[in-house]
Amino acid sequence: MFKKGFTMLEMIVAIGVFSIAVLLAVSSFLSLQSAEKKIQSLVNVQNNLRFAMEIMAKEIRTGELYHCGADSGVQPLDCPSGGPSLTFKNTAGQTTIYKKINSSIQKSSNGGIVFQPLTSSDITVDDLKFYVIGAPSNENLQPKVLIALKASGRIGASVSEFNLQTSVSQRKPAP
Amino acid sequence: MDDRTVIRRIAMSARGFTLLETLVAVSILSLALAGILSLSAIGIHSSSNSANQIKAFFLASEAVEYVRNKRDNNILAGSGWLSGLSGCEAGCSIDAFNDTISVCAGVCPKIKFNSATNLYGYTSGTDSIFTRKLTITQSVAYEIKLSSEISWQQGGISRNFVLEERLFDLSF
């Protein structure tokens, strides 16, 4: 008589309360996990784009003879309305090309014979455009390049988009 | 030992939790959970803040490069090295794509982002979170100090940073 045990009702109530608590805990940890994945893809895109932008800005700033357009010519050429590829001569005298190939930014240091990716395959570069003004020497302007970049990263169902823009002015005095 | 004492002893030993004990246990548990959750919230917040900082840095350096280019072009054209930059002592906004400088009346406008061209500017698109203000300070005739300040609001907190650069009159 003294050790009565639980009644059926008490058991049902206890299990019900417990399962609600467990449900809350599990769902909050699941949402934490998806947020963590989102952060991971965002950080990945950030790192890749910052690296690519930094490299391009530094090399273009110290380079000369910019040719902007769809082709990879070496004659200085402006593109005030934007071009997908930029060819120029870097400080080492190499004919350098930056362009988007198959959703990554790629660089060639030998005039387009070999291209190497600057961004990882985890991220998708959606758009890369160069806007060049003052490249031909007869314009009597200091060349200026505007770089616009858009990329997205995807881990699972979470997509992170990232837009960067900067301008660089040629350091070498115009001839 | 009579029956009554036995009953009392058993009743004493099979005592449940008091309300106070339960409250303490539940509050410790929820504090622990809240700690974990707030930690992850801080993580999410700071990752999106670092994204904004990277964008802001490149936008700030764009304004500095623009003025450097303007100075070089002025010298090439033989005009005054600061021509076209007057009024920027009080702060002005720079549209690098459209090649325009406008003096801010009080507060500079927000930079717009055009999602069709992926360009930051002032003529088309929707307002981004960033405000860019370029200030020129001239102490001597041959030197100016550029301050490119980017400010933005994030989660009710206003953030900003300033990129400083000094330019010289190369024709001096």
Please give, rounded to a whole number of angstroms, the shortest distance from the CA of A132 to a CA of chain B.
Answer: 10
By Cβ distance, the residue of B37, B55, B59 closest to A28 is B37
3-state SS, A14-57, equals HHHHHHHHHHHHHHHHHHHHHHHHHHHHHHHHHHHHHHHHHHHH
Q: Dump pLDDT digits (tens) for A47-76.
A: 989 999 999 999 999 998 999 988 878 889
The identity of residue B86, as a single letter, is: S
For A139, which DSSP code?
G
Query: Is the pLDDT reported for residue B76 higher than 80?
Result: yes
Residue A16 tokens, joined: 């019900």
Which distant-in-sequence residues (6+ apart) come within 8 Å of A39 by Cβ? B43, B44, B47
Instruction: Tell me the C-alpha distance between A79 and B123, whole Å.
Output: 20
Average the pLDDT over B24-43 and give the result.
88
- Which among A141, A150, A165 is the nearest to B58, CB-wise? A165
**How large a percentage of chain B has pLDDT more than 90?**
48
What's CA B32's distance to the chain center, in Å?
A: 31
Instruction: Write out chain A residues lying below 8 Å of B51, CB-based.
Output: 42, 46, 162
CA-to-CA dists, residue A163 to A55, A80, B24, B171, angstroms: 17, 20, 49, 38
**Cβ proximity of B93 and B102 under 8 Å:** yes
- Cα Rg for chain A, rounded, in angstroms? 27
| pLDDT digits 0-9 by tens, B126-148 | 999 999 999 999 989 899 999 99
Q: Looking up tokens 């190369």, which residue turns up?
A: B170
Å from A171 to nearest chain B CA? 9
A170 confidence band (pLDDT: 50, 70, 90) = very high
CA distance A34 to A19: 22
- How far off is chain B from A98, nearest CA to CA, in Å? 18
